[in-house]
Amino acid sequence: MTSELTSLQRAYLLGRSEYVPLGGVAMQEFREYRGRFNLALLERRLLHLAERYDSLRTVVDGQRQSRHVLATPQVDFLRIDLSDQTPESAEQKIAELKQGFTHELFDLTAPPWRVVAFQLPETAGKTGDDCAIFFRFDALILDGFSIAALMVELFEDRQIESAASLPVPSAIQPIKSQNEADANYWRVKLGSYEGAPKLPWAKSLETIGTSRYARAGLTIDAARFRKLTRMGAKAGLFRNTVLSAVILEVLSHWLSEGSLHVGVPAALRTEGGYLNGSTFFAAAWDGQGTDDFIARARALQDDVLEGLDHLSFSGVDISRFLMDLGGGASGVALPVVLTNGLSWPVLSSDAHVRPHDGLTQTPQVALDIRLGALADGGLVIDIDHAVEAIERTVVDDILAAIDRAVTAICESEELQVEARNVLDFDHYRFNMPEETYAACGFLRRIADNMFSAPPENDALVCGARRVSYAELGRGVHKVLASLAARNLQKGHVAVIALPRSPEQTMVTLACALRGVTWVPVDASAPEERRKFLCDNCKPDFVVGTQPVEGYDVVSAETLLQGEPSGDVFDFMPPLQELSSSPEAAYYLYTSGTTGKPKCVVLSNRSTDNVIGSTNAEWEITSGDVFISVSPLHHDMSVYEVFGCLTAGGTLVQPAEGEEKDAVRWNQLIDAHGVTIWSSVPTIFEMLLSCRQEPELAKLRLINQGGDYLKPAVIAEVRRSNPAIRLSSIGGPTETTIWSIWHRICPEDTGNIPYGRPLPANRYFVLNEKGEHCPVGVVGRIHSSGVNTALGYLEDGELRQHDFVMIRDEHGEPVRAFRSGDRGRYRRDGLILFDSRVQGYVKVRGVRISMPDVENELVKHPDVARVLLTDLGDERRGETELGALYEPVPGSGLSDADLRHFARQHLQESHVPAYFLKVDSIPLSANGKPDRRAARQLLADLPSRQPVPQRKTSTANRRLLDIYLEVVGCGAPSAVNGATDFLSMGLLPSHLKSIAQRISDEFGVALPPKQLLMCRNANQVEELVSRELP
């Protein structure tokens, strides 16, 4: 008799295909037993079981999608005699055969089950085992319960009650047709599904073809299991519920974000005998919920019981629905399964054999958590996992956390799971409490270098000027006297809007030594911006070269007039104490996520920690020569000036007009023997792009931070100067200059680690609930310690946005800065950057909040809705913004109109590179704006040309071809006039040839120095057009 396959059986056949993610495998179970058993008796019993049960004679026809039962049993039994071998060689042979046996696919021309029995040497070790037996059953014919029951019947000659006589909830009926009521139930119940759980997968699930599987296990002794069960019962929870809740609560700590939906197998037994009558449904665990653990466990129990009443909408149907809802992005709807085998039959403790090993594998399942009872009343938790999808160390960590959770519950007698009781925090090993801060006394050291024991080397070099430490001190003394004459002292605020120069340095040092809160402002900024900055911080004094409405601006020359009298130290408070003061010392303006600057309030104490720690780590001495290339209102410039002068080194300052001249930087480095370079990556890449080989030879340390470090750039530096020390620094301005660092090693060939905290600082990675994340799990980065800023200054008042109270891994409250960055800890205690939080991105070093930019764009009267998304790989420094906009009906709004509006209301760094008009903003199945769909729409734009889209002229194309030919890059289709030359592999050595080619073809003489300023072919075309007659 031939019958059709069930929907689940058809799904298992489909899973054998290598064309589906995590496919190419059969849903099958492997079991290994060891003990003493007569193998001839084993074979006879196998034949008897095959005669008794139709499932063991069932043949599946994959082509016809049908099955039939053989009249005569076929037992695939193989006996291998290893009795003449040593125990070691016998075990090696068994292990080799197991590798293939566990993953082989049945060819389906016979009943898909097989047994291999090994006769072991008599000296098989302390166990006294004389045999090892392999079983493999395909789920096309048997489910887990049936296999377990068959093992009991086989080895103990004890028949389990037939499936029909087992207690089954009355609501469960055979699946005969699609029940619309059940379908509607699941559509509503699973409406919040947003995709596969975001666990720390080794690679994207949709990219995994076929994977091998492995098992890791944990045993909970009978005493703990009984206590946990009793505590659950007191709370109204079934045994399987309390255990499932504990496991899912622990597992939720490995989520980087989002919800945890798992597949739950359910067996439908309505006829006698053994078969696979199973299906599955989906259950959600609210790991981020505000309810207590018991309430959420009860909700899970209710969900499972309700689910069992709605099984006519099959597991396959549920999976298809979830794929449509959001699982399609990962290619797998329910990669995590929780299999409850607590009610399955088990061999008695005095059976002749015992379970030794096992493994299940299921198509499109990456993690199968399996619960089983032991004969002694204990519990075994096995996790069968796809080795391509998740690392074994992660699985081991999860099991260890489950073990600790059960122990903590039993010892505390409180049914709750807290992260600090279950997670291992060894990855925090480099965190150091604020109490470990060791004062450097940076202001005292700078003063000593200027006034007490000046070093012989120059303090500053700017153009043709060389300023000794004594001369620098005389200038600072003059400014100090001027400040005192104006009664400016600690507690007053001074804005310094001066260009880079020795005078700017003198004024800054005088304010710092006087205790006046100093505020560096970009001297070239428009007056409107300078006024906004002044209005916000409410200065008592403004030093600058240009007027600011409403403020009396004093020039540096005025402050430097005259000759002061008296002891210079009389103008300064005690400098050792001032250097360690936790009070406000200076303000730094950041760009802000919408382009509106934020004023960060910083202390000398935090600065002292950075300078002292950094100078010690980098072994800075008076023989070192720094170059000042960071904007003076940028936090990295604080170290360039104060770090250098603290050590008594020399600071080279590019003269006016040289601030952005990378060719000149190289010349200065070579001429003055610069040893220390510190900047954001973009500035360093400018330096590198126009260097001559010997110019960087004297650099001993290159420090980059504030944005993505390109591995290709690091590799190029290593090739040119293998001995150079490379360092990565990080941390927003709110954590003072930098608060995390990493010495780049030759092994760092991929993404450069964010690093580890500076002394007296701690970095925490927290999930959406504010709990600590385990190793490898992405969460929001929080930092605390001496480097943490005092807050933001808004209209003269101190505010605490994003400065929050959290609990450390010991449960103690600490004040921390909540950054917009997401990262994860590596097992070695280093942090890796991952992404930005909730729509935050970083574009060319600038932090941007996409929702905030959307709020600005939607203010256009003809815009109904806007959705921003990021394009490119932020971890490779390739991020751009794209905007979908839905115009008001009949408005006629164009891309150019909205781009013009954006430029009027946003900084250029915040203006999207791409605009796309749409009829309606794409929404997810949950009705939320779908950034993933928006990203795809923008990615599909022809060549993804920036707006306004310009046609590639003949000249533009030819210029691009010249660059490609000289660089040797060929002509990739993705390259266009806006493509960055650095991404094409442009080197300084190419520019001379390019200049000659341009001269030959266009009759225009462009020196390589001019070409250096062009980042793409569009800019070169503009340059050429200006030179043409």
pLDDT in tens, 285-311: 988 777 799 999 999 999 999 999 998
Rounded mean pLDDT, 871-891: 78
Taking the C-alpha atoms of residue 647 and residue 811, their distance in angstroms, rounded to an integer, is 40
Q: Dig out the tokens for 911 from the structure.
A: 């203006």
Same topology, domains 2-165 and 180-345+356-424? Answer is yes
685-695 mean pLDDT: 77
Higher per-residue pLDDT: 251 or 748? 251
pLDDT grade for 325, boundaries at 50, 70 and 90: confident
SS3 state at 963: helix
The fraction of the chain above a pLDDT of 90, given in percent, is: 63
Sorting pLDDT into bands at 50, 70 and 90, what band is 124? low
Report the alpha-carbon distance of residue 140 to residue 15 in Å, rounded. 12
The per-residue pLDDT for 429 is 97
Asked whether residue 248 carries a pLDDT value surpassing 60, the answer given is yes
The rounded mean pLDDT for the chain is: 89
953/976 Cα distance (integer angstroms): 11
pLDDT over threshold 70, residue 943: no
Eight-state DSSP code of residue 940: T
* CA distances, 850 to each of 258, 592, 912 (Å): 20, 12, 10
Tell me the C-alpha distance between 321 and 190, whole Å: 9
3-state DSSP call for residue 915? strand
Band of pLDDT at residue 625, cut at 50, 70 and 90: very high
Q: What is the CATH number of domain 180-345+356-424?
A: 3.30.559.30
Asked whether the predicted pLDDT for residue 173 surpasses 50, the reply is no
User: Topology of domain 954-1027, per CATH?
Assistant: 1.10.1200
841-944 architecture in CATH? 2-Layer Sandwich (3.30)
Q: What is the pLDDT of residues 662-672, one digit of tens each?
A: 889 999 999 99
Structure tokens at 279: 């299906």
State the alpha helices, DSSP H only, in 837-939: 850-857, 895-905, 931-939
- Statement: residue 175 has pLDDT above 60: no
Higher-scoring residue by pLDDT: 676, 1023:
676
pLDDT at 610 exceeding the cut of 60: yes
Give dist(CA 80, CA 95) in Å, integer.
13
Q: Where are the domains of the chain?
A: 2-165, 180-345+356-424, 758-836, 841-944, 954-1027
Task: Check residue 685 and give its pLDDT.
Answer: 84
Flag the least confident range among 221-225, 803-807, 891-895, 965-969.
965-969
pLDDT attached to residue 125: 56
Predicted pLDDT of residue 174: 44
Give CA–CA dist 674/69, Å, rounded: 84
Could you tell me which CATH number the domain at 758-836 has? Answer: 2.30.38.10
Tokens 């019993």 belong to: 45
Strand partners, 283: 262
pLDDT range class, residue 161, cuts 50, 70, 90: low
pLDDT surpassing 80 at residue 924: no
Q: Report the share of the chain in percent with pLDDT over 70.
A: 91
Gyration radius of the chain's alpha carbons: 35
- pLDDT for residue 424: 95
Q: Residue 880: its pLDDT value, please?
A: 83
Beta pairing partners, 887: 863
Output the pLDDT for position 711.
82
Among candidate residues 680, 636, 682, the one with its CA nearest the CA of residue 878: 682
Residue 55 has pLDDT above 80, yes or no: yes
Q: Is the pLDDT of residue 565 over 90?
A: no
CB atoms within 10 A of CB 953: 13
Query: Does residue 551 register a pLDDT over 90?
Result: yes
3-state DSSP assignment of residue 1024: helix
Going edge to edge, which strands form the sheet with 113-119? 77-81, 113-119, 131-138, 28-35, 353-361
From CA 931, how far away is CA 218, in angstroms rounded? 40
Average pLDDT of the segment spanning 668-687: 90
Model confidence pLDDT, tens digit, residues 226-242: 999 999 999 999 999 99
Tokens (6 digits) for 987: 């080197």
Quick one: which of 515, 519, 133 has its CA closest to 353? Answer: 133
Q: Alpha-carbon distance 322 to 429, whole Å?
A: 41
- What string of DSSP letters covers 507-562? HHHHHHHHT-EEEE--TTS-HHHHHHHHHHH--SEEEESS-BTTB-EE-HHHHT-S
| Confidence at residue 969, expressed as pLDDT on a 0 to 100 scale | 66
How far apart (Å, rounded) are the C-alpha atoms in residues 116 and 42? 11
Q: Which residues neighbour 595 within 8 Å (Cβ) at sequence distance 6 or greater?
A: 906, 907, 909, 910
Residue 845: pLDDT band (50, 70, 90) is low
**Mean per-residue pLDDT, 814-843:** 87
- CA dist., res. 252 & res. 245, Å (int): 10
What's the rounded Cα separation, in Å, for the pair 446 and 438? 17
Taking a C-beta distance cutoff of 8 angstroms, is the pair 254, 394 a contact? Answer: yes
Q: Confidence band (pLDDT; 50, 70, 90) for 566?
A: confident
- On whether the CB atoms of residues 213 and 103 are closer than 8 A, the answer is yes
Look at 145-154, 644-653, 890-899 and tell me which has the smallest mean pLDDT: 890-899
Instruction: Give the CA-trace dihedral at 1009, 1015, 1021, 1022, to 10 degrees.
Output: -80
**What pLDDT was estimated at residue 390?**
97
SS3 950: coil
CATH number listed for the domain at residues 2-165: 3.30.559.10
Which tens digit of pLDDT belongs to each residue from 580-597?
A: 999 999 999 987 655 578
Of 919 and 225, more confident: 225
In single-letter form, the type of residue at position 844 comes to R
Element at 657 (helix H, strand E): none
Could you report the per-residue pLDDT of 406-461, keeping only the tens digit for each? 999 999 999 999 999 999 999 999 999 999 999 999 999 999 999 999 999 999 99
Residue 982: per-residue pLDDT: 65
**Coil, helix or strand at residue 590:** strand
What are the φ and ψ backbone dihedral angles of 188, each rounded to 5 degrees?
Answer: -75, -45
What does the block give as tokens for 295?
Answer: 């309430």
Q: Are 553 and 543 in contact (CB under 8 A)?
A: yes
Q: How confident is the model at residue 147 (pLDDT cuts 50, 70, 90)?
A: very high
Residue 318: which of 364, 275, 257 has the closest Cα? 364
